[in-house]
Amino acid sequence: MIKQNLVALLCSTLALTACAKTTTEPTKEPLNKPSQATTQDPNLQKKINGLLEKTKREFILVKGGSFMMGDFGAQHSEDGLPYDGDGDATPLHKVTLSDYKLSATKATYADFDIYTAATNQKSIGVFDDFSKVDRIPEVAAGVNWQQARDYCQWLGKQLNLKMDLPTEAQWEYAARNRGQMIMYPTNNGKLENGKNIWSFDQRNKITSKYKAVEVVPLLKQFPPTQMGFYDMITDNYEWMLDWYSSEYYNKSPEHNPQGPKSGTKKVVRSTYPDDGQNIKMSGGLTISRHALYPIADPEDLEYYKNSKYKDSIDLNKNNSVRCAENL
Query: String of b and e for 271-304 (b: at least 16 CB within 10 Å)?
Result: bbbbbbebbbeebbbbbbbbbbbbbbbeebeeeb
**Residue 68 to residue 29: CA distance in whole angstroms:** 29
Its CATH class, for the domain covering 6-326, is: alpha beta
The answer to whether 103 and 62 are in contact (CB under 8 A) is: no
Q: What is the pLDDT of residue 55?
A: 98
Q: What is the pLDDT of residue 7?
A: 38
∠ Cα 63 65 66 (to 5°): 155
Q: What is the pLDDT of residue 38?
A: 52
pLDDT tens digits in sequence order for the chain, 327 residues long: 333 333 333 433 333 344 334 343 344 444 445 544 556 799 999 999 999 999 999 999 999 999 999 999 999 999 999 999 888 999 999 999 999 999 999 999 999 999 999 999 999 998 887 788 899 999 999 999 999 999 999 999 999 999 999 999 999 999 999 999 999 999 999 999 999 999 999 999 999 999 998 999 999 999 999 999 999 999 999 999 999 999 999 999 999 999 999 999 999 999 999 999 999 887 899 999 999 999 999 999 888 888 887 778 899 999 999 999 999
Q: What is the pLDDT of residue 37?
A: 56
Query: String of b and e for 206-241 (b: at least 16 CB within 10 Å)?
Result: bbeeeebbbbbbbbeebebbebebbbbbbbbbbbbb
CB burial of residue 87 (10 Å; 0-12, 13-18, 19+):
exposed
**Residue 6 to residue 142: CA distance in whole angstroms:** 20
Residue 292's closest CA among 156, 106, 148, 170? Answer: 148
The 10s digit of each residue's pLDDT in 117-146 is: 999 999 999 888 778 889 999 999 999 999
The answer to whether 114 and 47 are in contact (CB under 8 A) is: yes
CB burial of residue 64 (10 Å; 0-12, 13-18, 19+):
middle
The answer to whether 290 and 240 are in contact (CB under 8 A) is: no
∠ Cα 23 29 30 (to 5°): 120
∠ Cα 241 247 251 (to 5°): 80
CA dihedral 131→279→176→217, nearest 10 degrees, is 20
Q: What is the pLDDT of residue 127?
A: 85
Residue boundaries of the structural domains of the chain: 6-326
279 contacts: CB under 8 Å, gap ≥ 6: 191, 197, 233, 234, 271
